[in-house]
Amino acid sequence: MKPLKFFVVADPHYFAKSLDAYGTAYEEFMDFEQKCYAETAAINDAVFDYLKNSADADVILFAGDLSFNGEKASHIEFSQKLKDLQDSGKDLYVVTAGHDIEPNPFEFNEEQGRHHVEGVKFRDLYDYYRDFGYDKAISFYEKTLSYVAQIGDGVRLLVLCNDGDEGKNLAYSDEMMAWAKEQAEKAKEENQIMIAMEHYPLLPGQPLLTLIPDARQKKSRDVINMLADSGVHLIFTGHMHNHSINVTNSDNGNILYDVCSGSIIGCPAFMRLVTIEDEHTVKIESIAIPEFEWDKKGKTGKEYMKDQFERMIRSMITGMKDDPQRLLRRFGAGDKKTLFGPTRKIGKAMSTWSVGKVTRLLGVKADRRIKDMPFLELAVSIVRYAFEGDQPYVEGTPEGDTILKFFKRLNPIFKILNKKLHGSQGETLDFYDILKNSVGNYGMSDYNSILRF
């Protein structure tokens, strides 16, 4: 076969230029938001210009959450952007996701604060995006807007969607699974390489995300077994806005890679350039989002998005101390007054203590190079690196050695939790191992790797 190159863009979350994103209520919302919001059109414009002018690849995959929150105006504008890009000679394939059909989309301005705008129903999405995969399909599963397309000589794409008017991130029906299996096995019989794309990861982007139900596809193990055993060994995903490459084996020992890409409108902001070199080798490269036109206060785009991400984490930690009710309200616990005191105390410690003072609580001596570092700064970087991938706090670094010593002191508690709790899909947990591999990357690079089947 001839090598095939294509781009993967995840979570563009386009917010229409005709809608408002400013004012006091907007700024309060952004205290707890990872993504840029008002800037989404400018960022997408820069990305689309880059793709339009790139000679690296003509095929582009969009891995879901095309709109910010399902605003009709956003779908209208974004589908037009896709048309303009396709008219330039590119070949586009999309999957929609939960944010594309949010029931209560909104905008912000100073006069009305946060207020509702018109959204769309799942059944409407076909009309917006039919030209970008659906009508080019060699097999189309209309109920979920899932399809198979020939994207290159000897290469097919299986696009799986599990959002609809009935809900978001649903488990696939038996009928849907049978259709996908049939298509995968047909591709294998016809000597076609088949790869897949869906919005929700099949593997947790970082081990800690094992605990979060919405962080991956429901009943993901069933999907992993079906794909890998039917000859599909690579899937592209998005959703959690983290940049990661993970690998597993089916129950029968067949390999599957899950390449999850960060959102282009929030740290970490990267696209993928993928090269299928042959039936056994795929090259993954990461490309930073280009600079975009916005008043970034003298910062680069990367710095601007990083600062927004850290604003979110700092707001959460300092909010524990300063306004626990506001923070807890974000997690549906704003009426739990018994939590206010403990939350305030934990927030004060995290906001004001040094790394050395925190570790001494368990009799752990922090590395001298970081003992005077504000614990807040270390906590912010741990969270950010977990989303950026290639986490640097491994054994042998001052941060890694200190963190792991601290975790080891907590092992008696972890062992109790391991017996009582399980992952969101029933897995047995090892909290020490989960945390160790969430603060430090001990596997392949999350950015640039060679995948072998």
Q: Are strands 59-63 and 4-9 parallel, antiparallel or unpaired?
A: parallel
Whether pLDDT at 374 is above 90: yes
pLDDT tens-digit series, residues 317-358: 999 999 999 888 888 888 889 999 999 999 999 999 999 999
- Contact indicator for 9, 61 with CB cutoff of 8 Å: yes
Average pLDDT over residues 82-95: 98
Backbone torsions φ then ψ of 298, nearest 5 degrees: 80, 0
Average pLDDT over residues 253-263: 98
What's the CA gap between 59 and 420, in Å, rounded?
47
Backbone torsions φ then ψ of 329, nearest 5 degrees: -60, -35
What's the CA gap between 8 and 196, in Å, rounded?
12
- Contact indicator for 8, 259 with CB cutoff of 8 Å: yes
Encoded tokens for 148: 């198979």
Q: DSSP string spanning 69-96?
A: S-BHHHHHHHHHHHHHHHHTT-EEEEE-
Q: DSSP string spanning 231-271?
A: T--EEEE-SS---EEEEEE-TTS-EEEEEE--BTTSSS-EE
Whether pLDDT at 113 is above 90: yes
Taking all residues of the chain, what is their mean pLDDT, rounded to a whole number? 96
Q: Are strands 113-116 and 106-109 parallel, antiparallel or unpaired?
A: antiparallel
CA distances (Å), 330 to each of 28, 324, 326, 344, in order?
Answer: 12, 10, 7, 15
Average pLDDT over residues 89-108: 97
Question: What confidence tier does 254 reach under pLDDT thresholds 50, 70, 90?
Answer: very high
Average pLDDT over residues 281-303: 98
- Contact indicator for 305, 262 with CB cutoff of 8 Å: no
Residue whose entry in the numeric block shows the structure tokens 């229409």: 16
The SS3 of residue 397 is coil
* pLDDT value of position 331: 80
What's the CA gap between 227 and 212, in Å, rounded?
23
What's the CA gap between 243 and 251, in Å, rounded?
26
What's the CA gap between 156 and 148, in Å, rounded?
7
Among candidates 281, 211, 268, which has minimal Cα distance to 238? 268
Of all helices (H) and strands (E), which one includes residue 385? Answer: helix 375-388
Burial class (CB in 10 A: 0-12, 13-18, 19+), 399: buried
Burial class (CB in 10 A: 0-12, 13-18, 19+), 432: middle
Residue whose entry in the numeric block shows the structure tokens 């069933």: 222
Rounded percentage of the chain residues whose pLDDT exceeds 90: 95
pLDDT tens-digit series, residues 386-436: 999 999 999 999 999 999 999 999 999 999 999 988 999 999 999 999 999
Rounded percentage of the chain residues whose pLDDT exceeds 70: 100
pLDDT tens-digit series, residues 150-196: 999 999 999 999 998 888 899 999 999 999 999 999 999 999 999 99
Q: How far does the chain reach from its first CA to its final CA, in angstroms?
A: 16
- Contact indicator for 289, 264 with CB cutoff of 8 Å: yes
* pLDDT value of position 286: 98
What's the CA gap between 362 and 343, in Å, rounded?
20
Q: pTM for this one? A: 0.96
* pLDDT value of position 327: 87
pLDDT tens-digit series, residues 213-250: 999 999 999 999 999 999 999 999 999 999 999 999 99
* pLDDT value of position 167: 85
Sign of CA dihedral 4, 10, 15, 17: negative
- Contact indicator for 322, 347 with CB cutoff of 8 Å: yes
Whether pLDDT at 34 is above 90: yes
- Contact indicator for 149, 93 with CB cutoff of 8 Å: yes
The full set of domains in the chain, from first to last, is 4-288 (3.60.21.10), 301-443 (no CATH)
Average pLDDT over residues 140-157: 97
Cα 453–chain centre separation: 24
* pLDDT value of position 165: 83
What's the CA gap between 71 and 66, in Å, rounded?
10
Among candidates 239, 293, 295, 264, which has minimal Cα distance to 22? 295
- Contact indicator for 275, 8 with CB cutoff of 8 Å: no
Whether pLDDT at 97 is above 90: yes
